Amino acid sequence: MQANETVQKFNTRQYMVSHTFEIFHYRDAYLNEVALHHHDFYEIYYFLNGNVNYIIEGRNYRLSPGDLLLISPLELHQPLIQAEKHPYERIVLWIDKAFIEQYSADACSLTRCFDVSAPDHSNVLRLTAQQRQRIADLLERLLAESSAANYGSELMMNGLLVEFLVEVNRISASGTAQPDPESRSAPLVAEVLDYINEHYHEPLTLDSLAARFFVSKYHLLHEFNRHVGTSVYRYIIQRRLIIARQMLADGLAPTDVYQQCGFGDYANFYRAFKAEYHMSPKEYLNGTRPSAHKNE
């Protein structure tokens, strides 16, 4: 990408201030370790340079320049960045759910490329040279327009974003972009993840999961950390918080939410929610914005 003037200073904010979309072009020589996390918006991540593995819901993707990552609001993810002489460079696009729905139609859903239930779905699209050129050109134009104050810039950006999303969905549906052949997820870990995702509202512990899958808790802990990038306990809490936040967004009272999400009592739910989102469940219910969040 030639538009070096579009490179921005890295911002640790992990929530949207716009009700439409936000785009960033980052290049960093070093970043601190990033914890497993999630967003309440869609994220498209165009990898340009560096030595990075990306873990998304237990699948470990080894990135190559030109790869396109598609991350939906419900997916836990974490970059594993190796510090070396090559800078970590990427373009990150955040898109509000309501914005995508506004421009989608029954016969043309712009969220189709994010559909994890689709056959052979992959979070990473490994683009052909022609596809990379097309994607890079659209992103460069979108970045340039977002940094300008020209007449009609907002309309132009909306049009470019819709064009970009249509292009990504066409690439995803065509099968011409090859999923990352190096992505991997251990069968044991995949089964445990599926079980947690289905039984998050029930009592879950490392001991009980190890017993259910007939492995030692030490082996399970090691494999889970290696493939998911976090502990079993941390993943369970994250999954419960994702569901809790959805329920709060739907208007459920915090005292009802914690019982349906597997938290033993309201105090534990309150502490976990406050630590993750820097606001109380009631504040989130009332639409308060957080003041800070984790790094990306």
The confidence band for 6, taking pLDDT boundaries of 50, 70 and 90, is low
Inform me whether the pLDDT recorded for 152 exceeds 80: yes
- Residue ranges per structural domain of the chain: 4-179, 187-285
Residue 129: its pLDDT value, please? 92
Residue range 4-179 in CATH 2.60.120.280 = yes
Residue 35: its pLDDT value, please? 79
- In this structure, what token pair is assigned to residue 284? 């989130």
Answer yes or no: are the C-beta atoms of 244 and 269 closer than 8 Å.
yes
Q: Taking Cα atoms as reference points, which of 229, 277, 280 lies closest to residue 13?
A: 277
- 169 vs 27, 163, 174, 218, 229, CA distance in Å? 27, 10, 8, 42, 29
11 vs 51: which has the higher pLDDT: 51
Residue 295: its pLDDT value, please? 41
15 vs 101: which has the higher pLDDT: 101
Whole-number Å distance between alpha carbons of 52 and 80: 6
Residue range 187-285 in CATH 2.60.40.1180 = no
Question: Average of pLDDT values for 137-159?
Answer: 90
Report pLDDT digits (tens) over 186-213. Answer: 789 889 999 999 999 999 999 999 999 9
The confidence band for 148, taking pLDDT boundaries of 50, 70 and 90, is confident
Report pLDDT digits (tens) over 60-109. Answer: 888 999 999 999 988 889 888 876 667 889 999 999 999 998 888 878 88
Taking all residues of the chain, what is their mean pLDDT, rounded to a whole number? 86
Residue 292: its pLDDT value, please? 36
The confidence band for 17, taking pLDDT boundaries of 50, 70 and 90, is confident
Residue 19: its pLDDT value, please? 85
Q: Taking Cα atoms as reference points, which of 56, 51, 68 lies closest to residue 176?
A: 68
Looking from the CA of 46 toward its CB, the CA atoms found within 13 Å total: 23
Element (H, E) at 97: helix 97-103
Proportion of the chain above pLDDT 70, given as a percent: 88
- What is residue 82's three-state secondary structure? coil
| Entry field: residues in the chain | 296
Whole-structure pTM value: 0.81
Which of the residue ranges 202-206, 265-269, 270-274, 292-296 would you say has the lowest mean pLDDT? 292-296
